[in-house]
Amino acid sequence: MPRSLRLYSLALLLLAIAIPPEDAWAARKKKTEATQAPKKPAKVKVKRQRSSSAETPAERDRRLLRECKGLPNAGACLGYAN
């Protein structure tokens, strides 16, 4: 057998061994996709803006002091009742 034919045959054999069939690649790809967790889109933090009609913390404290006089020190009145 000529030397060039042997080298060509050897190269072809090594190439056939190195590259698995396409079906094997497809099965491998499906398996890795199934085992990986699906990527979630990044969450965007939205800073909540206070409504212009909402009461401020100071106004809320004054209202609770006024409304909780004489009531049990529990629930919404916790810390505001006398």
Cα distance between residue 11 and residue 8, in whole Å: 5
pTM: 0.38
> Would you give the DSSP letter of residue 15?
H
Please identify which residue in the block is written with the tokens 């030397």.
3
Q: In this prediction, what percent of the chain has a pLDDT beyond 70? A: 76
- Summarised one tens digit per residue, pLDDT across range 28-39 is 666 655 566 667
